Structure 1
């Protein structure tokens, strides 16, 4: 039995956990760049933010919204097959907006005076950490929901490989994401180890959220189309509210936009080729 067959034989919650650990591991790899470089290249970070945005946009449609609609079509929603996707998508965005309001955080490249959420005396590093952690939650949820969908045969027979492609795509974009957090913290004067730990720990929520997502859809199958589109809405909110603006405000618009398109195409290829 090869590695793929072994992985397929695992319980879907364990599959989701392993996939979540993989995406976290990719963040660890990206955060480790802080041991190789002391200063951050702004053009590199903007380009990688654009790439991450492209991956998340493509994943939201190909791996989440399309399966949500397909599942609804197969389960007697009829002409209302759009309904779970629409409702879940909007609720996902509203959920991230609520998290933005109740959790203090600070986006990259912003002075601490521009922190969002409740007023706090927390350090700038902690606020940056919280900002990245917030947007890692929907990534973990999307992976868990995708493996849960595969377990109950949702959308199509290739749902398992589609979930694998989603995990790979999110993992790939987590590498530059880890460096995008750890390297500015290092450049601001923190030690390499401190910058590394803050960067990699920002993604510890991904395996946790992945397990929650898988358990939820396996336990309550009727929630599946809503859960898929919820994850998509949350990811799109993060992409539009954070990744795209951050990639476009430092004079690197062209490279960031091209990187977004490349990220979109790579995620699309992963999903279609594997799914």
Structure 2
């Protein structure tokens, strides 16, 4: 199917459409709570590992690699935007992690991270999940925003591959959120609502990312690297540790390998 016509659209609108798709995939995965009350730990570990693999691959193939190539084309030292942006992205997520009150699934309220608060357990759980989705939406938004300065088919295909890959891993991630919430005592409808609500931040972050790239063009390589750093922070801080629970850690490793290979295939073949 020809996709050249997409180049005629505003990159911000494309970013919005792409991140609405990733949110929809989160909601679709969350809807699995209507069919299952529990989720096998082996399956959960595999899904979280797969999500981690997709995000690791996307961080390099869709974000860091283009950032380095753009820096080379601009005649600047290619490693500076990549390193500075990458570390800044990780530092930003670290700061948010320390400030934003949130609670990870399976933990008691007294294990909540961030600023101490009296917020309800459900709110803290949703905020923890939302924290995961910020860098994903930002990454997709920045990728589409880059089309304003480099409106070619390779860049467009790469952005589409990134959105598709993020959406692909959002499906199992949505299920991995809503079903455990059901196990913790939430109703099916409430667990679904909280699960899909966590993904709504992606269109917001996507539009912001695309807008910033359009308004501050020299920031593009830094913005791409920033999104990569934020995504890697989430993978190392949350997804990998959560995927290693129980005794079936090999499955999370296999899931991560398959996720990385899937995202690499999408990005290289399409982009």
* TM-score of the superposed pair, with normalisation by structure 2: 0.97
Does structure 1 retain, via aligned residues, the 8 Å contact 2:38–2:183? Answer: yes
Residue pairs, 1:206-221, within 5 angstroms:
206-221=202-217
Aligned to 1:151: 148
1:240-261 Cα distance to aligned partner (Å, 9 max, x none): 0000000012212100000000
Question: How many Å separate the matches in 1 of 2:142 and 2:30?
Answer: 26
Does structure 1 retain, via aligned residues, the 8 Å contact 2:4–2:153? Answer: no
Residue pairs, 1:1-275, within 5 angstroms:
4-77=3-76, 80-153=77-150, 158-275=154-271
Give me the CA root mean square deviation. 1.3
Does structure 1 retain, via aligned residues, the 8 Å contact 2:105–2:181? Answer: no
Equivalent pairs counted in the alignment come to: 271
Question: How many Å separate the matches in 2 of 1:8 and 1:36?
Answer: 40
Q: CA deviation at 1:6?
A: 4.3
SS of equivalent to 1:83: helix
Q: CA deviation at 1:7?
A: 3.2
SS of equivalent to 1:116: coil
| Structure 1, gaps ≥5 residues long | none
Question: How many Å separate the matches in 2 of 1:227 and 1:214?
Answer: 10
| Structure 2, gaps ≥5 residues long | none
SS of equivalent to 2:103: coil
1:59-78 Cα distance to aligned partner (Å, 9 max, x none): 0000000000000000020x
Does structure 2 retain, via aligned residues, the 8 Å contact 1:107–1:115? Answer: yes
Q: CA deviation at 1:181?
A: 1.2
Does structure 2 retain, via aligned residues, the 8 Å contact 1:108–1:246? Answer: no
Tell me which stretches of 4 or more aligned residues in structure 1 moved more than 6 Å: none
* TM-score of the superposed pair, with normalisation by structure 1: 0.95
SS of equivalent to 1:158: helix
SS of equivalent to 1:34: helix
Does structure 2 retain, via aligned residues, the 8 Å contact 1:38–1:186? Answer: yes
